[in-house]
Amino acid sequence: MASLIECVPNFSEGRRPEVVEEIVRTVRSIDGVTLLDYSRDETHNRSVVTFAGAAEPVVRAASAAVGRALELIDMEQHSGAHPRIGAVDVIPFVPLGTTRIEECIDLARRFGEQIATRFELPVYLYGAAALRPERQRLAAVRKGQYEGLKEQLGVDPSRDPDFGPKRLHPRGGAVAVGARKPLIAFNVNLATDDLVIAQRIAETIRESSGGLPAVQAMGVLLENPGEPRYAQVSMNLVDWERTGITRVVNEIRHLARASGTDIDHCELIGLAPAGALLDVAADALGLRGFTPDQALELRLARDR
Close Cβ partners of 96 (under 8 Å, ≥ 6 residues apart)? 4, 5, 6, 52, 182, 273
Asked if 297 touches a copy of itself (CB under 8 A), the answer is: yes
Q: Which is nearer to a copy of itself, 155 or 285 (CB)?
A: 285
Stretch that binds a copy of itself, among 32-40, 104-112, 140-148, 164-172 (CB under 8 A): 32-40
Asked if 225 touches a copy of itself (CB under 8 A), the answer is: no
Give the shortest CB-121-to-a copy of itself separation in angstroms.
29
Distance between CA 224 and CA 227 in Å, rounded? 6
Strands 4-7 and 88-96: antiparallel
Asked if 241 touches a copy of itself (CB under 8 A), the answer is: no
Query: Which of positions 109-168 make contact with a copy of itself (CB under 8 A)?
Result: none
Distance between CA 19 and CA 9 in Å, rounded? 15
Binder among 28, 34, 71, 241 for a copy of itself (CB under 8 A)? 34
Give the shortest CB-256-to-a copy of itself separation in angstroms.
13
Question: Inter-axis angle of helices 55-72 and 17-28, to 10 degrees?
Answer: 150
Distance between CA 264 and CA 221 in Å, rounded? 14
**Residue of 82, 86, 55, 91 lying closest to 73 (CA atoms):** 86
Among 82, 169, 254, 265, which one carries the catalytic annotation?
Answer: 82
Tell me, residue by residue from 242 to 261, as one string, x for binding to a copy of itself by CB under 8 A and - for no binding: ---xx--x------------
Give the shortest CB-285-to-a copy of itself separation in angstroms.
5
Binder among 4, 62, 121, 138 for a copy of itself (CB under 8 A)? 4
**Residue of 60, 164, 44 lying closest to 113 (CA atoms):** 164
Distance between CA 5 and CA 53 in Å, rounded? 6
Give the shortest CB-42-to-a copy of itself separation in angstroms.
27
Beta strands in 56-162 (DSSP E): 88-96, 123-127
Query: Which of positions 258-287 make contact with a copy of itself (CB under 8 A)?
Result: 263-268, 270-274, 277-278, 280-287
Whether 265 is catalytic: no
| Residues contacting a copy of itself: total by CB under 8 A | 48
Asked if 105 touches a copy of itself (CB under 8 A), the answer is: no
Distance between CA 270 and CA 266 in Å, rounded? 13
Close Cβ partners of 169 (under 8 Å, ≥ 6 residues apart)? 70, 86, 87, 119, 120, 121, 122
Residues involved in catalysis: 82
Give the residues lining the site for a copy of itself (CB under 8 A).
4, 6, 34-36, 52-53, 96-97, 182, 189, 245-246, 249, 263-268, 270-274, 277-278, 280-290, 294-301, 303-304
